[in-house]
């Protein structure tokens, strides 16, 4: 006799090239065709709306972009702070970013790839989760966030 527990969560996966705006409390955002190679000539974006008094956590599950070049990149731009451009393989997984929103706002995710380039890279997969900030910390944390590998833009 075997005993086991099987569980899963019904969390939606959003292809960054589907575009538009989303506002779920959690989910995944992936490059088109992930975990297989992505195509050249992409310029895709997806906007995640975030309510007030919220901490948005973004965790890279996988990221595989060409190294030593920023021709292909993922840019993450919160409405309340500077954005970051990831344009190489993120080697330490999971890599987590935190974005506090005192008054609400959005985070734009943009994925750009070069035209006419043979892509042998899988792109990325990331998970996002929203949690509510305690009222006392909302003002203190506004505008601060943790970063991993990336470049300010």
Residue 76 sits in which domain range?
A: 13-152
Residue 58 lies in a domain: yes
For residue 141, the model assigns a pLDDT of: 47
**Mean pLDDT of all residues in 117-130:** 85
Residue 8 in this model has a pLDDT that exceeds 80: no
Please say whether the beta carbons of 107 and 55 come within 8 A.
no
Residue 1 lies in a domain: no
Residue 27 lies in a domain: yes
Torsion of CA 18, 105, 98, 122, to 10 degrees: 10
pLDDT band at 86 (very low <50, low <70, confident <90, very high): confident
Residue 135 lies in a domain: yes
Residue 66 lies in a domain: yes
pLDDT band at 5 (very low <50, low <70, confident <90, very high): very low
Cα(56)–Cα(98) distance, rounded to whole angstroms?
A: 6
Residue 5 lies in a domain: no
Q: Dihedral of CA 22/141/138/131: which sign?
A: positive
- Domain with residue 19: its CATH number is 2.60.120.290
Domain count, the chain: 1
pTM: 0.78
For residue 10, the model assigns a pLDDT of: 55
């Amino acid at each position: 006799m075997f005993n086991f527990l099987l569980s899963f969560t019904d969390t939606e996966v959003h292809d960054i090239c589907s575009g538009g705006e989303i506002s779920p409390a959690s989910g995944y955002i992936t490059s088109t065709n992930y975990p297989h190679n992505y195509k050249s000539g992409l310029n895709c974006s997806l906007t995640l709306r975030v309510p007030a008094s919220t901490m948005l956590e973004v965790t890279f599950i996988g990221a595989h972009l060409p190294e030593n070049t920023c021709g292909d990149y993922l840019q993450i731009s919160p409405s309340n702070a500077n954005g970051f451009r990831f344009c190489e393989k993120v080697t330490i997984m999971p890599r987590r970013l935190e974005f506090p929103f005192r008054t609400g706002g959005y985070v734009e995710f943009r994925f750009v790839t070069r035209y006419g380039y043979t892509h042998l890279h899988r792109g990325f997969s990331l998970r996002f989760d929203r949690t509510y900030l305690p009222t006392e910390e909302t003002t203190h944390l506004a505008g601060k966030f943790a970063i991993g590998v990336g470049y300010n833009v």
